[in-house]
Amino acid sequence: MAVLVDANTRVVVQGITGKEGSFHATQMLEYGTKVVAGVTPGKGGQTWTSESGKTAPVRNTVKDAMKEDGANASLIFVPPPFAADAILESIFAEIPLIICITEGIPTHDMLKVYSVLRNSKSRLVGPNCPGVISPKYKVKMGIMPAFIHAEGNIGIVSRSGTLTYESVASLTAAGLGQSTCIGIGGDPVPGMNHTEAVRLLNEDPETQGIVMIGEIGGTSEEEAAAYIKAHCKKPVVGFIAGQTAPPGKRMGHAGAIISGGMGTATSKIAAMKDAGIGICAHIGEVGEKMKALVKK
């Protein structure tokens, strides 16, 4: 199994006619993802053609793509000033899964999105994230380099795109494939958080181990550690970026803000150790540490 995406995932790309949307839609199709449509307002009725010659219809709205093409997941490549409206469009269309890649969406805009999202039928991953990938089902919704992934049973949740790739490469090098990799993004107002992603992976019968990658700022990792301590019986390996960040200086993503003694690397690592999570000193240890825990 996998979480969030599987063989039934049918993707509509919001912003498919733009440079980034077109490039990554092509990469997704080449990997095996079912990209069934694109959305660009005002260009409905046109046909988008990938660099490899594959095509998809362009619709004016997400609701049109759901009705005409059976789309059940939306991937957003829309510029920051308009990205929140693109997310809201998908929420109002009641599409089950929304993944927003866009970086730099104003926090005020995302607060409006969050107020609508929490009472909706949609689940949001991102913004400012690499997306979600399931090697088993050949579904890639995002910008991650697919060639480093391998089919397996280790789930990953991470705030950092680059560290996601590093942990995947480490697992693959250790002979461990991945079930689902979830990049939740590093913005201060995210959709999915660590706890929700870990819960999904914990409940997935084919995920045998979990890698949780975090960074300084916020309390998402501490909250996930509390969940893991109370509910998770699977081996969990963790890494926190920013351990050497100078005191008082913000580092990393927009969400890397430390306040009230919470959100520091020290507090996160302490909470993770208390939950029985295997802590890695550097990201390259992830594969071998998980391999040792799985063998136990």
| pLDDT by position in tens, the chain (length 296) | 689 999 999 999 999 999 999 999 999 999 999 999 999 999 999 999 998 899 999 999 999 999 999 999 999 999 999 999 999 999 999 999 999 999 999 999 999 999 999 999 999 999 999 999 999 999 999 999 999 999 999 999 999 999 999 999 999 999 999 999 999 998 889 999 999 999 999 999 999 999 999 998 888 999 999 999 999 999 999 999 987 666 665 555 655 555 555 678 899 999 999 999 999 999 999 999 999 999 87
The answer on 280 and 175 residing in a single domain is: yes
Q: What's the first-to-final CA gap in the chain, in angstroms?
A: 23
Q: What is the pLDDT of residue 134?
A: 98
Beta bridge partners of 225: none
Q: What is the pLDDT of residue 265?
A: 87
The answer on 160 and 101 residing in a single domain is: no
Catalytic residue IDs: 253
Contact call for residues 184 and 190 (beta carbons, < 8 A) = yes
Q: What is the pLDDT of residue 38?
A: 98
Q: What is the pLDDT of residue 154?
A: 98
Q: Is 46 contained in some domain? A: yes
Q: What is the pLDDT of residue 296?
A: 79
User: Domains in the chain: how many in total?
Assistant: 2
Which residues span the domain enclosing 32? 11-125
Cα 155 to Cα 113, 139, 180, 273, 287, distances in angstroms: 28, 15, 5, 19, 12
Q: What is the pLDDT of residue 137?
A: 97
Contact call for residues 141 and 5 (beta carbons, < 8 A) = yes
The answer on 154 and 264 residing in a single domain is: yes
pTM: 0.94
The Cα 13–Cα 211 span in angstroms is 28
Q: Is 3 contained in some domain? A: no
Q: Is 137 contained in some domain? A: no
Query: Where is the binding site for CoA, in residues?
Result: 17-20, 43, 101-103
The answer on 36 and 159 residing in a single domain is: no
Amino acid at 194: H
